[in-house]
Amino acid sequence: MDSRQIVGTTIAHFRILEPLASGGMASVYRALDIQLDRTVVLKILDADLLGEESARRRFLREARLASSLDHPNICTIYEIHEDKGVYYIAMQYVEGNTLKRTINSRPLAAPALLSISLQVADAVSRAHDRGIIHRDIKPQNIMITPRGQAKVLDFGLGKNLEEATSHASAEITALGSPFGTPAYMSPEQARGDRTDRRGDVFSFGIVLYEMATGKKPFTGKNHVDIYYAICNRTPPPVLDENPSAPPGLQAIIDRCMEKEPAARYQSMHEVLADLKRISAGLRFQTPVPDGINQPFAPVENVRRGWTTTIPGFFRKIVPGAGRTLSQMGGPAPVQETSFEDSISIPDDFPLIPGMHKSLAVLPFRALGSESESDWNFLLLEALVTELSKFKSLTLRPISTVARYADRAFNPNDVGRELGADGVLVGSVLRSGARVRVTAQLIETEGGGVLWAGKVDETLVDEVTGLDAVCQKLIEGLAGRQLGSDVSDLLQDESEEIRLDGVAMLRFSHDPKAVDALAAALVDSSSRVKAAAAEALGRFGASAAPAIAARLVDATDRGDFGTARFAAKAAGMIQSSEVLSPLLEALNCDDSLLASQAALALGDLGDERALPDLIEALERPDANVRFTSAQALGHLADPLSVGALEIRVREDDDEGVRAKAQWAIGHIKRVVSTTRSRSTGGIGPIRRPVSPEVAP
């Protein structure tokens, strides 16, 4: 459709005013909504693509993805429709400049950088919570309004993670060619491998770098040069390019742009938490662009003295808020409740051995959308207050532990950092007036779980409910109530609690942890299965017997969903004990399990898998051929080149041909490098990470 001819015409109730941009599959116009008398952006599918069902599906998928996201920093979708054969999306018209133009090859000032990055991180985090990854985060896709509000645009490359799971068989090979903008891709995107939320984290790190320095971190003369830089090079430090960059930003950027997905932030929530801490510590002297002087309060300044003053959180709930509890009046003021008298604290803390011991109580994690961080901090303060009454126990101050709020951590590492003999961790899940609190006491030295407990309470009011929860936890920690096994959390009816239990077990040194995590692979929730597989990978070869048994059992029972996650875990542990079950899985009839087994065999690196992988290149399913070619590339055995060359010449799937060509090239490079190294050439080779098959 000629943009000059369409200007002035009317489509449905939209009058086209001017062209704005043209992309690979659609043209974008500024238009007037005649019915509502407002300016909108109209994205119209190019006429040449109307006959292609795949283009229409992708075009409408973009609209569905974006329209499902309700967030102040995501462009609003008004309407998705077809009018006389013309497919269009009507969306919010955002006045202002793109972030690219705002940067204009110069570093942004710290207040503007942090305000924009916090807004964008929050928007992308919301999309991830809805199961959507963007896959094309870049300054050109972020608009900045005159008052400094950021708007994330263009979910045209976005991918619904649940949709990816249910249609993985049809889409794995389609990912053989990179999607996105070269200079802002993650390494896995650049290689054409499957990507997930962590790909967006990498791209966001690139945007952070560009805002901080005015320069792109990865450049080249062509796309191939850029892809190589992304996969292999480290950009110059931020402070070398901009000495006035905010302190701590370099560490966030470095972790975002780790080459290996497992080494990056595992979620945008983690990135957002660290950005909040930097923002809170700066004490802006000038307003940030959206007019907020301090977008986020420092975690160290969360209100203290919970038994004395009602925090702002309760002003919505408790009458008389803003006065001290003793000023509230009534026959039974909260400050005079019998909580302190209801439990006598012994001199010795029984759960940690020794005469003098130290304990760090970390901020309890908020699970679900209804949990309040203020309430969690009040619980933390209440526990610290009561536990400090044990004469043999020294508590780490709240100001020291507050920095661990809203971030992932290894309790053993935290215990060592704080010089504490034990660490108390926990989570809070709220649903209406009901609250469930779980807690685990971890021994720093041995990593074992000394005590675990779960408290269910109905909050008649917030303060007395807090008293009741704290009292029950202290009863357990004082040795008056038997704790539960932490693995019992994996049987809880709440998916969030089970996920949290897996998160704790992944750091456990308890021998029972491996069996509990292997059992969690059978969980009805794919999120729990995936978390359990990742956690098992941390245990290495010690988890091999449990993983192998679970893989064999699930395959025999036809539970291929569980088997796929077990195969994924098997690929992480580098143990020959899982070779035989993986070979059986490779040769099973379920193509997704066979594909995941092929990837795991490639990661395992055992050459005994070579004949089966070569044979799998002849399987009718393209996904199995694709992942087998990937695995053969990782094994890098020249004996497989002949079979791969046949795939390049004869395979009817473009993705399989491309992956086979990559494998051949990789094998030749490995062989050449090995020969060079044997004569004093270059150092060891770093094998690329294999893509994931969505189980």
Q: Which residues of 187-220 are buried (b: 16+ CB within 10 A; e: fewer)?
A: bbbbbbbbbbbbbbbbbbbbbbbbbbbebbbbee
- Cβ count near 560 (within 10 Å): 20
Q: Which residues of 396-425 are buried (b: 16+ CB within 10 A; e: fewer)?
A: bebeebbbbbbbeeebbebbeebebbbbbb
Residue pair 309/438 in contact by the 8 Å Cβ criterion:
no
Helix (H, G, I), strand (E, B) or coil at 695: coil
Q: How many whole angstroms separate alpha carbon 252 and alpha carbon 271?
A: 7
| Angle subtended at Cα 269 by Cα 263 and Cα 261, rounded to the nearest 5 degrees | 20
**Which helix (H) or strand (E) element contains residue 679?**
none
Strands of the 142-144 sheet, one edge to the other? 97-98, 142-144, 150-152
Query: Which residues, listed in sequence order, are joined to residue 45 by a DSSP beta bridge?
Result: 26
Catalytically annotated residues: 136
* DSSP line for 484-518: PPGGGGGG-S-HHHHHHHHHHHTT---THHHHHHH
% helix / strand / coil in the chain, to the nearest 5?
50, 15, 35
Question: Among 507, 317, 336, 333, which Cα is nearest to 408's?
Answer: 507
Rg (CA), the chain: 28
Q: How many whole angstroms separate alpha carbon 29 and alpha carbon 41?
A: 6
Query: Which residues, listed in sequence order, are joined to residue 29 by a DSSP beta bridge?
Result: 19, 42
Extract the tokens encoding 624.
Answer: 């199995």
Q: Are strands 86-92 and 77-83 parallel, antiparallel or unpaired?
A: antiparallel
